[in-house]
Structure 1
Amino acid sequence: MKNIGDLPDILPAFPLPGALLLPRSRLPLHIFEPRYLSMVDDALKTQGRLIAMIQPNPGRTGDEKGLHRIGCAGRITQFSEMEDGRYMLTLGGVSRFRLLGEVDGFTPYRRIEVNWDGFEQDQAASEKDVMFDRDAFLNLLSKYFTTRDLNADWDTLKEADDELLVNSLSMMLDFEPEDKQALLEAPSLSTRRETLVTLIEYFLRGGEAEEMMQ
């Protein structure tokens, strides 16, 4: 698969709240529910080995049946089967898509019809963020990690390229599902970075307000 035109119109769907997959990023998954074990088995039999990661949206009705309109397809790049039948696998982000509707069928898991138009950049080379102030960003991130009592490999963070840094943090940090969706739908790396900064600053302001009230 080298371009949008090579991607299928129908994908198996894995609706998982709070799970974010971005193009050219990797998402580890632990699969244990029988319906999703079946989904992985079927995906491994296809040429693309694609799974659609998409967040549930209980407020949405109609053809989408409680799913967000935008998700990201991932290719199974690594997998191992446990003795009890569970799968440990890694998805490599391929491209975002727009949900058109759900496909009726007899599989125990959901399948969806998707459209790839508008996400051609996802299949291109990695993005750059020319306005990225890395020093200011890492300083803000340090405050966030300190407040959350989190550890980080700062040498790795400092050396990571713009896209890897922003996308990895967007996927890993503990934000609400709606915030994760906003990060997914950001049209460019720079807008995703701006959204990420806004979320971190919002958290820090909230923490400071709580401290002042104590």
Structure 2
Amino acid sequence: MTDNIFDPKSGELPATIPVFPLTGVLLLPDGSLPLNIFEPRYIAMIDHALRNGRLVGMVQPVQPNERDNFGGLAGVTDPDDERVDPEAVERELSALRGEPEKPSVKTPALYETGCVGRIVQFEETDDGRYIVVLKGLSRFRIVNEHPVASGGYRTVDVSWDEYGHDLLMLQEASSDSGVINRDQLIPSLKTFFDLHGLSADWEAIERTPDDKLVTTLCMICPFAPGEKQALLEAPDLNSRAEIMQTLIDMAAHQGDDAPAIRH
């Protein structure tokens, strides 16, 4: 990781950002995420970002009936929850005023934690798409969501307080800090890649510093959405590396236990 004059410093990140909800897509601080943008609402989102600091928040929608890491159900409404739904109240007031009912915009619930990225590469295509690359800067916690913007994309108020160290990490040099045990990781990783039909430049992996390797593997490996969320919310690099190693080991062992196919 190296300091970049274009990256915002601590205290310079905005209180409100546009977000791009994508299931199974993970952006981490110092990670690099290419995106193919073609929906009109997300074209509008990128246009907005290019005019406003080039920042886009990546966040996963909560999957219906998805079990969280503690055995609970994420994204399921508690029948005993008596909190007021502001949209329902507004619909009732509109009905009392005799106003025509407005169409309801259904947007999936979002995880509270996401990661903001800065657009570092941008390209237009002849068929009306944007090809962009985001550099991960810092995680955030969503504290409030605004009504859908006129362009159709979503914007949220965020807090950076819990993840102030993310920007500081970007200014530190990459290192082999003993974050991972490569003698344990590489054999399991090779099995994991074989199971998923993936290829890799193993010499390049050996040369990659620990912190960059953990970030890259967490982002590109085909983990489940809930697993990727756990990696995102890990408090530090060491914890993230431990979770990643566990996920890879579990998948590799399950592959070893799979029955052989008889011809």
Q: Distance in 2 between matches of 1:54 and 1:60?
A: 18
Q: 1:51 aligns with which of 53, 56, 61?
A: 56
1:131-150 → structure 2 map (5 Å cutoff): 131-150=179-198
- What is the percentage of aligned positions where both structures have the same residue? 42
Which residue in 1 is equivalent to 2:22?
Answer: 16
- Report the TM-score when normalising by structure 1: 0.91
Deviates more, 1:107-116 or 1:64-73: 64-73
Deviates more, 1:64-73 or 1:50-59: 64-73
Q: Does 1:74 align with 2:122?
A: no
1:63-142 → structure 2 map (5 Å cutoff): 66-104=109-147, 105-125=149-169, 126=172, 129-142=177-190
- Report runs of 4+ in structure 1 exceeding 6 Å deviation: 61-64
Which structure has the larger Rg over C-alpha atoms?
2
Partner SS state of residue 161, structure 2 = coil
Q: Does 1:191 align with 2:234?
A: no
Q: Does 1:152 align with 2:200?
A: yes
| Greater share of residues in helix | 1
**In the TM superposition, what is the alpha-carbon distance from 1:149 to its structure 2 partner?**
3.2
Q: 1:30 aligns with which of 11, 24, 36?
A: 36
Query: What amino acid is the match of 1:69?
Result: E
Q: Which has the higher contact order (CA 8 A, sep 6+)?
A: 2
RMSD: 2.2
- Report the TM-score when normalising by structure 2: 0.75
Unaligned runs of 5+ in 1: none
Which residue in 2 is equivalent to 1:175?
Answer: 223
Q: 2:55–2:116: 8 Å Cα contact kept in structure 1?
A: yes
Q: 1:60–1:67: 8 Å Cα contact kept in structure 2?
A: no
**In the TM superposition, what is the alpha-carbon distance from 1:203 to its structure 2 partner?**
1.1
Q: Distance in 2 between matches of 1:148 and 1:35?
A: 33
Q: 1:60–1:66: 8 Å Cα contact kept in structure 2?
A: no
Q: Distance in 1 between matches of 2:44 and 2:248?
A: 38
